[in-house]
Structure 1
Amino acid sequence: MVEEIIKKSKINIHSMLRHGSVAVATLFIVGIFFGMKNVMLAFPIALTSTVMGRQNFQVKTFSKALRIIMLDVIIVLLAHISSLNLYLGIPVNFISIFMIMYTIVSPYDLTFYKPFLMLFIFTQYAAVPTSELHLRIMAVILGIGIVILGSVIKKVNEKSILGNSLTGVLKDIDFQLENILMGSYDKSLQDKSSRSMRDLAYKIYITRYKEYLTTYLGKIQFRIFISIEYLNLCLAEVNSKFESHMLNRKDIMELKEIVNGILEYKEGNLTYDNINRKLQTFKTLNLNNERKDQWTEEYIDARIVNLFDVLENIIKAIGELNNLGYKQINKVYNQWERTDMDKPKVVFKEYFDSNNIRIKFALRMSITMTISLFLGEKLGYYKVIWAIITIMSIMQPYYEDTKSKAKERVVGNVLAIVITGVVINLINSQWVTIGILVISLYLLYGFKEYYKISLFAGMASMCIASLNQNINVLIFYRVIYVFIGVIAVIFINRYVFPYKLKDGIDALTKKILRLRVQLINDAKAVKNDKFKEHEIRDLVIHSTLLSQKLYLRNLQCNYEETEEFINQNNRIVIGVAYNTLRYSEIKKR
């Protein structure tokens, strides 16, 4: 019964327990030791926990934690300086918010900036005297300490997750081969496998550290990602050859047998010698015994000329995964360099363009928040922070996304007002209020839907406020400020440095094309000393992740030409990268 409710409501139990515990622990510990003025730090600290969870906090945990602590301390100090003088706060707020929005970003995690911006706004609005500033800094450091502790206690077993993901995709490939035999090739199944591999590409991306591309586990993830996706894309050509009688039923059955054998090997039911023997038989019967050593233009295209190598690569990757020790999983693999393409010195210059979405969003947010904070302080209205937080929370890079978030924010907050108001009015007990607060903080991190996040965030903030204020007064102000914030942000997104979804799709398409050209040009250098393997790897990861961004953006527009572009780009990029890296490996032998 409970499992059925969890499944229907789509609650993420792991996220709820992990990040909810961080929020509750921070709330009570900070409240007890550092006072109620610092209680609101629980929200940006818990949000830091969720963001770091998506950034693989297991790689170089201490270094990352130290950087976050230093960054948070700087933000708190800047917020304090801003609070000292109303007019001094204008340039300090603008510059600080712009730098947070422009520099503290992750290209593939659009919410990465939020905990840092939220920390600045909360600590600037709820200012403390200079004599108490050290307590606030200590509270922030303690909160990050709780995040680190939560990450150690709830350590994710990435090796096990990769193994389960690999099993799922191989089963889908086996099912696709069955479809081919039945004459019903399923394009949606290919797309499902591609999405799984794009998720894997993101896991590889977030393991990069300083000059190095990935970890020991990331190296295996990359091999699995590019090999499985190549095999997945090859199945369309397998289907075409089967339909044109260039492959017969026996060929497909033998391929199915190998895929099933790989699954058995992965589960430990088949030895390496046994699966290798099956593979050698498959090679002898279906492929030329001699490897293709000659470099041709066709060789860098995604074709079914080296299917044996693909299957062999997958088997070797599984063998490496099985033999990988847990101490090595998050250890940086220093034989694979990373390029400069996503390093701050390159990115800062690349995006500093008046037509770029990053600078437009940073300017829009910094202007809006600076004016909001100034007016809030100048007018001194009670709980005006709720309007400011509403603006900050629902303002998105794209106008269409902002409208969507605004609707969900209204729905979530109205539900929060009704539920919290009714319960607290019926049962006027501080313990009931604290109970609702704790439950809300946990549920806040159990869902992806924004209206549910807004619902539980609203309930939590109202419960905290109602511990010292009358709930009915709070309800009145909450309603007023939510609607003011929503109306303001829709107007601002439409007229202040606007950026439409179509603009974003066009910009992403151009960038993907530029990376594709760079990848093909790099691949052609494989025969000479100028060939850069590390650039090929980085380009295929970035191209894949940008395609995923484009896919998500296009979900709202449903442009057929964009969907076809994504599919075509995927075939070219994976084909070029796989065959180029494989050729380079063979050449070294």
Structure 2
Amino acid sequence: MLRNGTIAVLTMFGVAILFGEKNIMLAFPIALTSAVLGRQNFRVKTFDKTLGIIIIDLIIVTFAYISRLNLITGIVINFISIFLIMYTITNQYDPTFYKPFVMLYVFTQYAWVPLNQIPNRYLAVIFGVLIIVICNKAINEINEKSLLGKSISKSLSLIVESLRDILKGNYSKEKEVECTNIMRSLAYKIYVSRYRDYLTTNLGQIQFKIFMDIEHLNLFLRKIEEGYSHKDIAKEEIEELINLLEQIIEFSDGKIRVDNVVNETNRYVNKHIKEAKYGYEISVVLINLSKNITSLAYINKKDINKVYERWQRSYLDKTRYTFKEYFRRDSIRFKFAMRMAITLTLSLFVGELLGFYKIIWAIITIMSVIQPYYEETLKKTKDRVVGNTIAIVFTGVVINIMDNRYMTIVILIASLYLLYGFKEYHKISLFAAIASICVASLSNNINELLVYRITYVIIGVLIVILANKFIYPYKLKDGIKQLEEKIERYNYMLVKEGELYLQDKGNIHIVRDIIIHLTLLNQKLYLRNLQYEDEEVDRFVDNNTFDAIEIGYAILMSYGKSRDFKKVKLEEISRLLKQKERYG
């Protein structure tokens, strides 16, 4: 909230003062750009990424300008531009990544300026992007290692709680799922650290190893619970494991030295590594975890965000591969891009043709509420109406009573900060509407604005409902099915790549990348199913999460080992597959 609110305020007033009020609307997409980029790793190649964002934004501003020069050719330019923004500027694991860019296109086209003012608009965009970079540096100067430490601490605490539940005989999978979700968040941090041909950074490669260690141990609790119930693993061994994990937690919280953890791990391993059924597996995880958190303790802070050149990125999310994968009439990305392009193009054409005052508010509603899935669109539509209704009542009462320009500016600033303080869309919509009405009321009659606002929100909502029903419709059920098919395909790829690697024919780099993608795809399906509520889908996610980690861990543990060791791991993978009977 602090970062994005500050960027919104600085951009809005900075642009208004330096580049004129015609460019003030740029503050909204620029602040949203900051919110979106905040979920990416902007510390990796900061200059290159900043330059890339500036170039994209300048291209968008240019085509938005050209589209307004002629009403008819503008239809073609708008359709192509919006489709390309929606289709190409995307992140499959961040569904809102496209928003600031399509918003910039719509806002700059609506608040059109003549050619002699275009340089000012370019400078306003550059100014906004630089504000994003500077504020991110100033506000977000947090040690990356401490962030990782929280991931370690939270996840291992849940594993300790689960181990205690096993001893009490009331183990449940709730804590396992919670721990898995923390590890999936860590996997996303690794994913966004990739750059060009490199999979991750110096910090990211340690994060990946720790992610695999902790998630493997988390899922191994199922076997420990089964072993304890059959008296194959002793109570004392579980208690010793709890004590060791608690020491690792203390280290991650900065309470003890890493040497204590290493010594205690060595003591545990020397005692239990020869216990074939559980001791060996647990010991291997603990050895790796100890080694990786030691690397974390001694990593050079200056080098953490430099690309790790020994790990290559695979082709899986490169444009030449994803373009073929998604450029199909039945894919969600194609349908969503077409729906948004058609709806916004028609809305912009009608808005320009009629020239109604503040018709942009209907177009903003369309742009904000349309979602990939029909069910999500309906929910967001309700939230939009609720948020805007409250905003209209609040601003109407307060501004009419106060009738003070400076009080309006105070409300505007407060709403810009609060806009980024909540995750619920009806609250986001509420403060966005308050900010928008406050900006407009500085130069227009508030009561007239409120009538326009409610009218255009209703019009926008009706258009959205019709568009999602008749223009390339896509339901949650369709998305669930496509995600399941993709997960199965990636699972099959993991097995095949693993088999090739263990026979000294494959590529270990793609194995790591597939594991990251599978983790994030399972998280995506898990989140989709929170709304869909299908127990079969929950079981699918659970099984595939387990498979990806078990098989992936078996493959990665053979890295740098002898052929005999790889042969053992290949047999282990074959055994896992036979047990599950889910791969061809």
* Structure 1 match to 2:222: 236
* Structure 1 match to 2:248: 262
* Structure 2 match to 1:441: 416
Check whether the contact 2:396–2:450 (CA below 8 A) recurs between aligned residues.
Answer: yes
* Structure 1 match to 2:88: 103
Deviations 1:196-234 (A, max 9, x none): 000000000000000000001101110111110000000
Shift of the alpha carbon at 1:527? 2.9
> How far apart, in 2, do the equivalents of 1:277 and 1:386 lie?
64
* Structure 2 match to 1:123: 108
1:336 to 284, 297, 311: 311
For the pair 1:573 / 2:559, whether they are aligned, the reply is: no
Check whether the contact 1:226–1:574 (CA below 8 A) recurs between aligned residues.
Answer: yes
> How far apart, in 1, do the equivalents of 2:533 and 2:48 lie?
42
Shift of the alpha carbon at 1:357? 0.6
Shift of the alpha carbon at 1:586? 3.3
1:388 to 338, 363, 387: 363
* Structure 1 match to 2:44: 59
> How far apart, in 2, do the equivalents of 1:507 and 1:21 lie?
40
Check whether the contact 2:258–2:297 (CA below 8 A) recurs between aligned residues.
Answer: no
> How far apart, in 2, do the equivalents of 1:273 and 1:556 lie?
46
* TM-score, normalised via structure 2 length: 0.94
> How far apart, in 1, do the equivalents of 2:461 and 2:279 lie?
54
* Structure 1 match to 2:131: 146
For the pair 1:428 / 2:403, whether they are aligned, the reply is: yes
> How far apart, in 2, do the equivalents of 1:50 and 1:238 lie?
42
* Structure 1 match to 2:150: 164
Name structure 2 gaps, 5 residues minimum: 566-584
> How far apart, in 1, do the equivalents of 2:258 and 2:181 lie?
29
Distance 1:470 1:304, change over 3 A: farther
For the pair 1:193 / 2:168, whether they are aligned, the reply is: no
* Structure 1 match to 2:272: 286
1:246 to 211, 232, 236: 232
For the pair 1:208 / 2:208, whether they are aligned, the reply is: no
* Structure 2 match to 1:507: 482
For the pair 1:184 / 2:170, whether they are aligned, the reply is: yes
2:5 to 10, 20, 33: 20
Shift of the alpha carbon at 1:248? 1.7
For the pair 1:92 / 2:77, whether they are aligned, the reply is: yes
Q: Which amino acid aligns with 1:143?
A: G
> How far apart, in 2, do the equivalents of 1:544 and 1:50 lie?
24
* Structure 1 match to 2:26: 41
* Structure 2 match to 1:296: none
> How far apart, in 2, do the equivalents of 1:350 and 1:138 lie?
37
Q: Which amino acid aligns with 2:80?
A: I
> How far apart, in 2, do the equivalents of 1:36 and 1:487 lie?
31
> How far apart, in 2, do the equivalents of 1:446 and 1:35 lie?
28
> How far apart, in 1, do the equivalents of 2:342 and 2:143 lie?
42
Q: Which amino acid aligns with 2:454?
A: V
Shift of the alpha carbon at 1:35? 1.1
Check whether the contact 1:237–1:304 (CA below 8 A) recurs between aligned residues.
Answer: no
Shift of the alpha carbon at 1:269? 5.2
> How far apart, in 1, do the equivalents of 2:262 and 2:438 lie?
62
Shift of the alpha carbon at 1:316? 1.1
Q: Which amino acid aligns with 1:559?
A: D
Check whether the contact 1:83–1:127 (CA below 8 A) recurs between aligned residues.
Answer: yes
Aligned length: 563
SS at match of 2:219: helix
Shift of the alpha carbon at 1:176? 1.1
For the pair 1:113 / 2:98, whether they are aligned, the reply is: yes
> How far apart, in 2, do the equivalents of 1:273 and 1:20 lie?
43
* Structure 1 match to 2:512: 537
Shift of the alpha carbon at 1:273? 5.1
Shift of the alpha carbon at 1:284? 4.0
Shift of the alpha carbon at 1:288? 1.9
2:469 to 494, 513, 516: 494
Distance 1:77 1:271, change over 3 A: closer
> Which portions of structure 1, spanning 4 or more consecutive aligned residues, are displaced by more than 4 angstroms?
267-274
> How far apart, in 2, do the equivalents of 1:360 and 1:31 lie?
38
Shift of the alpha carbon at 1:168? 1.3
Shift of the alpha carbon at 1:286? 2.9
Check whether the contact 2:151–2:183 (CA below 8 A) recurs between aligned residues.
Answer: no
Name structure 1 gaps, 5 residues minimum: 1-15, 293-302
Check whether the contact 2:502–2:558 (CA below 8 A) recurs between aligned residues.
Answer: no
For the pair 1:313 / 2:299, whether they are aligned, the reply is: no
Deviations 1:355-401 (A, max 9, x none): 00100000000000000000000011111000000000000000000
1:468 to 443, 446, 453: 443
Structure-to-structure mapping, 1:518-537, within 5 angstroms = 518-537=493-512
Deviations 1:539-579 (A, max 9, x none): 00000000011011101111111000101001110011111
* Structure 1 match to 2:537: 562
Structure-to-structure mapping, 1:295-374, within 5 angstroms = 306-374=281-349
> How far apart, in 2, do the equivalents of 1:321 and 1:48 lie?
31
Shift of the alpha carbon at 1:38? 0.4
> How far apart, in 2, do the equivalents of 1:116 and 1:304 lie?
53
Alignment root-mean-square deviation, CA: 1.6
* Structure 2 match to 1:458: 433
* TM-score, normalised via structure 1 length: 0.93
Check whether the contact 2:273–2:279 (CA below 8 A) recurs between aligned residues.
Answer: no
Deviations 1:160-192 (A, max 9, x none): 111122111111111111111111112100000
> How far apart, in 2, do the equivalents of 1:413 and 1:347 lie?
37
> How far apart, in 2, do the equivalents of 1:30 and 1:273 lie?
53
* Structure 2 match to 1:485: 460
> How far apart, in 2, do the equivalents of 1:304 and 1:107 lie?
39
For the pair 1:227 / 2:234, whether they are aligned, the reply is: no
> How far apart, in 2, do the equivalents of 1:417 and 1:118 lie?
22
Deviations 1:470-517 (A, max 9, x none): 000000000100011111101110111000000000000000000000
Q: Which amino acid aligns with 1:184?
A: N
Check whether the contact 2:64–2:106 (CA below 8 A) recurs between aligned residues.
Answer: yes
* Structure 2 match to 1:7: none
Check whether the contact 2:269–2:287 (CA below 8 A) recurs between aligned residues.
Answer: no
